[in-house]
């Protein structure tokens, strides 16, 4: 299926025309971001933790220290909400009320499972590494058995998923268009700068091709 089926929990109700359920939009938003926010509750106390992630097909992988409270909690089957957001522009209207931002966001609801199969766990770590910098996995030392034991990996199925997107300029009240106030959009983007070599240089090879002219 090319689209996720919206549920009562993922159907966009506020400004529904901004809702998107197609995999192409959802995957593009997920694959071009670095950080997700993971929401869950422990004994009635809600937590929202920022963390890195990686995607493979309809699975989102989370990882971290085996001592992580978040990962221990989620591996026990606690419901989770994961969000990813890009801010693409500041939308400046003629009235304070209609100021906004242009954004692309994804919300994922579900229950994560602990990844115990060694092959899947190693593949997930490759996905994490290449999600940050495509091609990096093949250059670096692979995780040792001890490092694998010290790392927890969770897989969250992409089943209850929705995206929400805003584009374009401000939408003012008709009467406000005559106000002598500048209105428009300030575009925002993340730009990679020149790579900075490690200060502890030992055996520096040339800058790899995937770092040259890198963009996200």
Residue 30: inside a domain, yes or no? yes
The pLDDT of residue 216 is above 80: no
Whether 78 has a pLDDT exceeding 90, the answer reads: yes
> What backbone torsions phi and psi does residue 25 show, to the nearest 5 degrees?
-65, -45
**Number of domains composing the chain:** 1
pLDDT of residue 62: 97
CATH number, domain at 22?
A: 2.30.110.10
pLDDT tens digit sequence for 131-185:
999 999 999 999 999 999 999 999 999 999 999 999 999 999 999 999 999 999 9
Instruction: Report pTM.
Output: 0.91
| CB 134, CB 210: distance < 8 Å | yes
pLDDT at 23: 96
pLDDT digits (tens, 9 = 90+) for 103-123: 999 999 999 999 999 999 999
Whole domain around residue 50: which residue ranges?
16-211
Q: Is residue 171 part of a domain?
A: yes
Q: For residues 63 and 115, what is the distance between their CA atoms, to the nearest angstrom?
A: 10
Residue 90 domain flag? yes
More confidently predicted of 197 and 106: 106
Residue 3 lies inside a defined structural domain of this protein: no
Residue 36: other Cβ atoms inside 10 A: 21
């Amino acid at each position: 299926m090319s689209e996720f089926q919206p549920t009562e929990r993922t159907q966009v109700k506020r400004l529904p025309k901004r809702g998107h359920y197609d995999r192409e939009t959802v995957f593009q938003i997920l694959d071009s971001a670095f950080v997700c926010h993971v929401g869950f509750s422990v004994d009635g106390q809600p937590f929202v933790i920022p963390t890195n992630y990686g995607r493979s097909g309809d699975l989102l992988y989370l990882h971290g220290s085996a001592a992580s409270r978040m990962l221990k909690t989620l591996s026990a089957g606690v419901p989770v909400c994961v969000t990813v957001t890009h801010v693409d522009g500041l939308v400046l209207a003629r009235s304070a009320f209609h100021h906004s931002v242009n954004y692309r966001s994804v919300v994922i609801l579900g229950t994560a499972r602990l990844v115990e199969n060694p092959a899947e766990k190693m593949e997930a770590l490759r996905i994490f590494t290449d999600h940050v910098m495509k091609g990096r996995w093949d250059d670096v030392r692979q995780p040792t058995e001890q490092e694998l034991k010290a790392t927890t990996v969770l897989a969250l199925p992409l089943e209850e998923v929705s995206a929400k997107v805003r584009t374009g300029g401000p939408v003012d009240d008709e009467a406000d268009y005559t106000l002598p106030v500048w209105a428009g959009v300030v575009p925002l983007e993340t730009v990679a700068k020149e790579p900075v070599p490690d200060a502890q240089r030992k055996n520096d090879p040339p800058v790899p091709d995937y770092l040259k002219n890198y963009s996200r």
